[in-house]
Amino acid sequence: MEPMHLIVGLGNPGAEYAKTRHNAGFSLVEKLAERWKANWANERKFVSRVAKAQHAGKKVLLCEPQTFMNLSGEAVGGLVKFYQLPIEKILIAVDDADLALGEIRLRPGGGSGGHHGLESTAEHLGSKEYARLRIGIGRKNEARQITGHVLGKFSAEENALLEKVLKRAADQLECWLEAGIQKAMSQFNGTISPTNEEK
C-alpha cells in the first residue's frame, strides 16, 4: 500500500497568534481541510492537530504542530517516524518574509532561509530534501525588527489578497498530489496581484 502524504502547515498555537502572518502555513492546511471536508483532532502524542483526508485517490495527513514554531520539527519528526513516511511524501507550508505578499514558491528542498520552523524540521528529519511551499508575507521595512511584522495580523486589504493566495496554494498542493512537484512548481509558482490572477 502506498504511504500516505503528509502536509504540514507551520505556525504558533493559541488565540493570540491566530491569523497572524507567521501562521500562513496553518491557514493553508485549514483551507485544505475545509476543501476536503476533513475533521481536525488533537493528537497529544504528536503534539499536533491532525486531519485525515483523501485527494486524487491518495491518503493525506494534514498537520498543525502545537509545539510553537521554533520546535516544529519535534511534531513533524514524530509523525514521520510513526507512519514511516519517505521524504518525498512530506511537504511543509511556511510563511516567508523575503517574498512579497501574493507570491508562492514551491521547491523540492533547500536551506531554511533563516526560518526557525524549517531549521527545526530539517534537524529532526536529518535532511533538507523535503518539499516546502513558501507563502510570501512581505516585509514592510528592511531595517525594522522582523518579529513585530511576522506576528502581526493582516490588514483587510491584505486579507483579500491572502484569500486568493491560499486558494492558489491549495490548488498547487492538489497538483503536487496528482501530478508531482515539477508540474506543481511550473504551473503555480509566481505572484498574484490584488487586481489580476498571475504576473
Q: Which residue out of 5, 22, 55, 124 is catalytically annotated? A: 22
DSSP 38: P
Catalytic (active site) residue 116 = no
Q: Tell me the β-bridge partners of 96.
A: 136
| Strand (E) or helix (H) holding 92 | strand 90-96
Q: What is the pLDDT of residues 50-71, one digit of tens each?
A: 999 999 999 999 999 999 889 9
- Is 188:173 a contact under the CB 8 Å cutoff? no
What is the chain's mean pLDDT, rounded?
90
Alpha-carbon span 154 to 70, nearest angstrom: 22
Q: What is the mean pLDDT of residues 124-130?
A: 94
Max Cα distance, the chain (Å) = 51
Output 176 or 112, whichever has higher pLDDT. 176
- Is 134:92 a contact under the CB 8 Å cutoff? no
Q: What is the mean pLDDT of residues 115-127?
A: 93
Q: Which domains, from first to last, does the chain contain?
A: 5-191 (3.40.50.1470)
The pTM (predicted TM-score) of the whole model is 0.92
Is residue 122 classed as helix, strand or coil in its secondary structure? helix
Q: What is the pLDDT of residues 136-189, one digit of tens each?
A: 998 755 544 555 566 678 888 889 999 999 999 999 999 999 999 999 999 999
Q: What is the mean pLDDT of residues 12-23?
A: 90
